[in-house]
Amino acid sequence: MSKLLVFGHQNPDTDAITSAISYAFLLRQLGEDAEAVALGTPNEETQYALNYFKKEAPRVIGDVSQETNSVALVDHNEVQQSATGVEKVEVEFVVDHHRIANFQTANPLFYRAEPVGCTNTILYKMYKEYGVEVPKDIAGLMVSAIVSDTLLFKSPTCTQQDIEAATDLANIAEIDVNVYGLEMLKAGTNLGDKSEAELIDLDAKSFPMGGANLRIAQVNVVDPEELLARREALEESMRAANSENGYDTFVFVITNILTSVSTVLVVGDYKDKVAQAFNSSYTDGLLTLPGVVSRKKQVVPPLTVAFEG
């Protein structure tokens, strides 16, 4: 039997990388020959967490069907967000906290999905259910993911379960979650050395909606003006991405983690419909969305309603 590969989505964020690590460890304790892998290299925020807790990043894979015949998906389920070749292998496990779309299997599988702020919150519950102790370094990575996905508990996706899991995991990891969390989030906002093409692809996902193909990217910053000074080049990169990949519209969300305000650049055929989805209008070609910090809960749902309703 080939090794079970565990991985998160393309353009992996902190939850995608660390949930692969934490779930692979749990599966090994339960008798599976599991290995955490990734569909991309860690971003600055994730690398900060890996360095802090002295863990190596998972190796990056390409076509998963060339590596194994069985996989576990974490932090995603949609095929277009997954590995190349995933349709050719058997998905045996899924642990996720997103919507379910474009997903089917030939055989029964283990599927765990809960409406919480972070996949690692679910995984922490599973550790407790199976009676498996969370190692200190993995606890640190798990709490890092919860901090990342909930923006240090400020996101509307954050639940009491996330807060309780983060508190427990921070105690195991022996960190002050607020002090550590803010430093980690700040590490993820160091974007000055990224090209425009890299910036729009750092944390980007594709979403088919009502016959349209939307690409939605998000970056967290402490000073949006640094990126907006590069607006012309960013929009040119978005247009190029649309043309090269068949996206109908590219939505680039710049989220200020200090003020919880998002500024949105939109390029493509459905620019007006995007504004209508948020009951907003463009000012100098930009959408300003106070209180919008979560792509999963505050960006994708209204767009889905606008395009499919």
Q: Which residues are annotated as a binding site for Mn(2+)?
A: 9, 13, 15, 75, 97, 149
Distance CA 239, CA 235 (A): 6
Binding-site residue ranges: 9, 13, 15, 75, 97, 149
234 close to 265: Cβ distance less than 8 angstroms:
yes
CA distances from 113 to 11, 21, 75 (A): 21, 18, 9
Residue 164 CB partners (closer than 8 Å, separation 6+): none
Q: Which residue has the tokens 């990224």?
A: 194
Q: Which residue has the tokens 């419909």?
A: 273
261 close to 289: Cβ distance less than 8 angstroms:
yes
213 close to 247: Cβ distance less than 8 angstroms:
yes
Sheet holding 110-113, edge to edge: 59-60, 34-38, 4-7, 70-74, 90-96, 110-113
And the tokens for 51?
A: 């360095």
